[in-house]
Amino acid sequence: GYIRSLKYHLVVMLGNLASNGSTTQSSTSGDWFAEKAIDGNRGLHGLRKGGCSSTLAETNPWWRLDLSNVYNVSRVVVTNRNDCCVEQINGAEIRIGNSLENNGNNNPRCAVIPAIPGGSYSYSCGGMEGRYVNLIIPGVMKILTLCPNEVLSNAYY
């Protein structure tokens, strides 16, 4: 007899990893804390309703999600505010990796967010590996505001 080798690839959808992670940001405007960006209150897209995180106006504001483990990130869903200031997110970069150098903002870039209206938009990250998911807006006097976001992964076994 002979032995046949059997190779298989099992994909497990892990769902929204963001809801189990911990967050921090470069600064906090009022009570718009970093964790509000992952609290799941998807119907609250305006700052007046308290459902978003926001930094102060500063140079290179950033927000970071620590997934606590390394994952292959398939996509990141970013929800922009839908009130006065939708343009504030223009040019934001999504970065994914395992380094905390420069607060994680030197990790490889998944996507750059163009001008988007209020609402949720999905950015494919092609299975980038990382523990940290950052959003940063390069520039001076920038404000980073995020409403509930999702980080989605496929686990490969």
CA angle at 132 for the pair 131 and 133, rounded to the nearest 5°:
130
CATH topology of domain 14-156: Jelly Rolls (2.60.120)
Tokens representing residue 114 in the block: 């163009």
Q: Which residue has the higher pLDDT, 130 or 44?
A: 130
The 10s digit of each residue's pLDDT in 47-73 is: 455 678 889 999 999 999 898 889 888
Q: How much is the mean pLDDT over the chain? A: 79
Predicted pLDDT of residue 23: 87
Q: Is the pTM of this model over 0.85?
A: no
pLDDT digits (tens, 9 = 90+) for 105-118: 999 999 999 888 88
Residue 49 phi/psi, 5-degree rounding, is: -90, -5
| Boundaries of every domain in the chain | 14-156
If pLDDT is split at 50, 70 and 90, which confidence band does 12 have?
A: very low
Torsion angle in degrees (nearest 10) through CA of 32, 138, 98, 11 = 80
Give mean pLDDT, residues 40-45: 49
